[in-house]
Every structure is written in C-alpha cells, then in structure tokens.
Structure 1
Amino acid sequence: MHQPREKVIITCAVTGNQTLPSMTPHLPITPEQIADACLGAAEAGAAVTHIHVRDPATGMPSMEIGYYREVVERIRAKNTALILNITTGPGGRFAPSEEDPKIAGPGTLFLTPAKRTEHIAMLRPDIATLDLNTMTFGAQVVINTPPNVRKMAKVIHAAGTKPEIELFDSGDILLMHDLVRDGTLKGPHLASLVLGVKYGFRPAPETVLYARGMLPAECEFTAFGTGRSAFPMVAQAYLAGGHVRVGIEDGVYLSRGVLAESNAVMVDKARHIVELLGGQAMSALQARAHLGLADAGRTTRSAAE
C-alpha cells in the first residue's frame, strides 16, 4: 500500500541503549520506571512498546534477564493487551583495541546469538527486534553477520515471537531479501526503517520512498527518525503508508529546546500529527489483529513460568 493508511500503529521506544541519563532527567531507568513509561505510552495511544532495560544503579544499558522479566510482569499486571516488542540489539558491538585490532577494546559488547536472544526464549514477547546492520556506529562497529542473524531468527521463531526487522541502510534490505528467499524469515513481514543514525539512512522523504520500494512483498513497515528528525518522520512515515514510532530512545526533545517530560507526551504529539493528516491510531487489540499476533495472555503466562 503506497498511500496513507486509515489507521496506523504507534510504537513507543521508551529508553533504548544510546540515550544517556546526562541527556535528560526523564529517562526511565529502573524496571518500575520502564514499565510505567510503557503503560503511560499505551494510555496516550501507543499500541506497541519497544523495550530495553538498564542497570538501576548506573543508568547504563543492561541485558539482565531479571530486569526484563520484572518489566514484563509489571506491565502485564495492569495491561494485557499492549504489544511488547523486546530488543535483541545489544551484544553486537565491537571496538578494536589500539594495540591489536583483532582484540576487543573498551566499549566492546560482542556476544553469541544465543546470549543475545536468551531473554526472548524465556519471556516469549509478542515481537523481538532483529537488526540486520553491520555498520560504523560512533567510534565502534556494529556487527550482525548473516550466520548470526540466522541463528537469532531461529530462536525468535521458536519462541513464537514475531521478528521486527531493523533496517539501517539499503544493504540491510538486500540481506532481508536473502533471508526471505532461504526461509529464515517467514511472511508476512514486519520491518522498521531507522533514519538518522550517522552513516545510515538519512531522514528525508526520498529516503523513505526509496527504502519502501526495496522492501519484500507482504511487509508492514514503520519508518522513524532519531534526534530532531523524530517528529518530521512521523508525518513522512504516515504519508508513505507506514506506521510510526517515537520515544525517548530516539530523541529527548518534544520541540526545539523543550525536553519531553515523558514518553507519553511524545506519543500524544505523534498521535496528534497522524490525526491532523487524516489518520487514526490503532488500539493495541486492533494492532494485534492487524499483525496476526497471538492473545496477549501467552506473554503473561510465559513470563511467570
């Protein structure tokens, strides 16, 4: 579909990896804060919340399964419809040491596919992200080799979880086509076009249209921008026939010079943009039906097991 949808899915990415506590006092850090941010985003109109976790003591990114479990349980105790989208992104970062570049230096977090997906196998969320990018990321490199991506996809599928394919540049879309051809990815597909990461897709209308045209058949897509492009890309994604995403993971400002006091106010602004353009936000239940997701009770039960 290459025209605006009547109804779109709003995803809220509430904390992420890259946003630092020094950037905003409103960053959710503890499992309780992250869960509350997800619930607040849902009340504002998000059908999906994208979840990372953090070390409560330092505020820095974490992969601790106990934190993921607590976030899921806290959300499900109050909202059984909200779609939970959990990251598998951490664990693909490599920074070569200055003395010997084949040896990992400071900033490296490079883990096996099994380690990067073990929380998905245990918690069985509705959706799990699957990054296809291998790219320069700041002073480091993110590495997602095709063999490792295939291994991670296998765990995600075995958990009964839908992969959301994260695409940072055009080569990632070509890899997605290969994964579709060999049966690693099974349609209908769900993809996100990540715009605004340095050395990746530029956040511009022509980029969204170009990338949209490369996607496989039977592919729902979200396009979202980082930093100052976050809200302009809400409008562009909607106009291009896609879904939308905002959140403190992607940007900390509600408008120029004004920090977003919560994820909920970002969702509220995104929903307002969509409505001004003639669309509506899907409810979580509508989004579940649209994406062919299982009853939310499955996540509640598995998180408690």
Structure 2
Amino acid sequence: MSRKVIVTCAITGGSTKNLAKHPGVPKTPTEIAQASIDAAKAGAAVVHIHVRDPESGEPSNKLELYEQVVKKLRDSSIDVILNLTCGMDGIIELESVAPLKISPRSTLRAATERCLHAVKLQPELATLDCGLLHLGEAIYVARTSDLREMAKLMQDAGVKPELECFDFGHIEIAKQLVKEGTLKGQPLFQFCLSTGYGAPFTPTVLQAMKEVLPPSSIWGGFGCSIDEMPTVAQIVNLGGHIRVGLEDNIYLRRGVLASNADLVENAVGIIERMGASVATPAEAREMLGLVKRG
C-alpha cells in the first residue's frame, strides 16, 4: 500500500500584500468557505483558515467572522478537517526605542484572546506559532508563557495544536513544551519555509529540521511563492505531509493566477507521481489522532 500524505490548503492568509495582484483571494466568510469546499473536493483533507474584513480585505481575528466560516463549512455536505489560525493579534511595532514608544499599529493581545475563537468553536486543529519572528520593523511575539497558556486552552477544548516552526529555534521551543508535558499526545509539527522571516527552503534545511524532531512526531511543511511545489516534492520524498494554498503562493505557473483548488490539484499530481497517495479526511483524522467535529 502506498504511503498516505495529508494535504492542507491555506485558503487566504493574514497578509494584504497579494490582494492587489490577485482579485480572487477570498475575503468574505462566504468566499472563504466556498474556497475551502472547492479545495476539499480537489483533495485537501485539511483547510487552514484565516479571516478578513469583508469590505477591506484587511486581516482580522474577529470571532464572529470565524463563526460564519465554520458554520458554513459544518453545514455543508463536505467532510474536511478545520484548522483555525491562532497566529493573529501578536504584533508589536515600535515608533521609537529611546524613549520606548509602541506604535498604535501594534495588535498584540493576551494569549486568551488570541485563541478565543479556537476554544469556542473547537476545530480539530489550531496553529501555535512557536517563537518570536522578525518582520522587518515589526515583531511577532510568542513568549514561552504565552505558548503554554494557549496550548492548555486549546487542548482543554479538545483542539490539537499544530506547531508552526519558522526556524530551528522554534523547533527547540516546541520540543521543550513536549518534554515538560504541556503538549499532550503525538506532536504535530509544521515547517514554515521561505516566508522571508525564517528558514529558507532548501533540501538541506528541510532534512536538518526533520532530523531534530522528537522521534514520535508527525510533521509536514510548506514553501512560499516559487518554492511551493518544489517543497511539496521534497517533503513527500522525506516522509512528511504538505500544505499549499493562496496564503503561500498565488500563481499556478509564471503569470497565471491560481485558485486554491488549482494548487491542491497540482500538489495531488506531484504526490501521486511520486508513488504516494492522498489521505482522505477520515484517514487524516486517524493518522493525527483527531475526533470528527460538527
């Protein structure tokens, strides 16, 4: 029997940089839900959900927007695993250092607020970004105490954290949470590569990140922009699971804008040509130790 690969589709993301380039990036709850359904039909077992202000397209973390997307997906006839981001509302910008002055553009909120939607809506998965990120003039803040609190809240609600690791240090932080017992069960790691503020995608980097994981780990990853599909092939070759979607890349090929379903179909073709097969949502739940919701 061929190895089963779990395909995640990251539907819309939390950045505005691609909105001007691609008018088809989903913005409203209806668009996000429909794109998720289309991705699931194309072969995605998991959909990774951000939400946006329906008018402006600006990234949002409003509970009511997540509620609308989750309800539409659970009311549909499509079986797909929901993975809600908990990586929003973590940004600090400084207007000056001496004297220290925090910019009003900062979004940083308490850990309980950053994962409130996951606790209330109880998706099967939610992301836990495992460390600080340098974003040019901004900083994404994830203190170890924040991670402990968010992980506990998620797991108490029956939600499995997906450990987002943008660099080797993030893997070490996640390993500490596993070692101390904060994270229960088999850990699920996601390598976030070529984002511009973490590890680049190269086969050497990917191999090295895999080698420092705890032995019992489940892992997957993604590459951004032109690295998206080469990363799919390398991860499948190394035994991991994969993610594609408009959050990470808006092109099917040079100059041709993609849909989420297009990108999933491309990834499915790569997986199958490499002798593996795509996991169904039911198979993915069994592999990840999840219980179906909704």
TM over 0.5, shorter chain: yes
Q: Please tell me the TM-score bracket, short chain as reference.
A: over 0.9
Q: What is the RMSD of the two structures over their aligned residues, measured on CA atoms?
A: 1.3
CA distance in 2, matches of 1:169, 1:235: 20
Shift in alpha-carbon separation, 1:214–1:79, aligned structure 2, 3 A: farther
* Equivalent residues of 2:38, 2:261 under 8 A apart: yes
Query: In the TM superposition, what are the counterparts of 1:1-305 in structure 2 within 5 Å?
Result: 6-20=3-17, 21-79=19-77, 81-98=79-96, 102-260=100-258, 262-296=259-293, 300=294
Whichever residue aligns with residue 169 of structure 1, its letter is D
Deviations 1:123-150 (A, max 9, x none): 0100000001212113211111101111
In structure 1, the gaps of 5 or more residues are: 301-305
Report the Cα offset of residue 187 of structure 1. Answer: 2.4
Whichever residue aligns with residue 10 of structure 2, its letter is A
CA distance in 2, matches of 1:94, 1:233: 30
Aligned residues: 292
**SS state at 1:188 partner:** coil
User: Relative contact order: is structure 1 or structure 2 higher (C-alpha 8 Å, sep ≥ 6)?
Assistant: 1
Report the Cα offset of residue 100 of structure 1. Answer: 5.0
Deviations 1:34-79 (A, max 9, x none): 0001000000000000000000011010111111011011011113
**SS state at 1:163 partner:** strand
CA distance in 2, matches of 1:193, 1:22: 27
* Equivalent residues of 2:37, 2:78 under 8 A apart: no
* TM-score, normalised relative to structure 1: 0.93
CA distance in 1, matches of 2:196, 2:262: 26
**SS state at 1:94 partner:** strand
Whichever residue aligns with residue 259 of structure 1, its letter is L
CA distance in 1, matches of 2:14, 2:185: 28
Report the Cα offset of residue 19 of structure 1. Answer: 4.5
Report the Cα offset of residue 295 of structure 1. Answer: 2.2
In structure 2, the gaps of 5 or more residues are: none
**SS state at 2:94 partner:** coil
Report the Cα offset of residue 102 of structure 1. Answer: 3.3
How many percent of aligned residue pairs carry the same amino acid?
A: 40
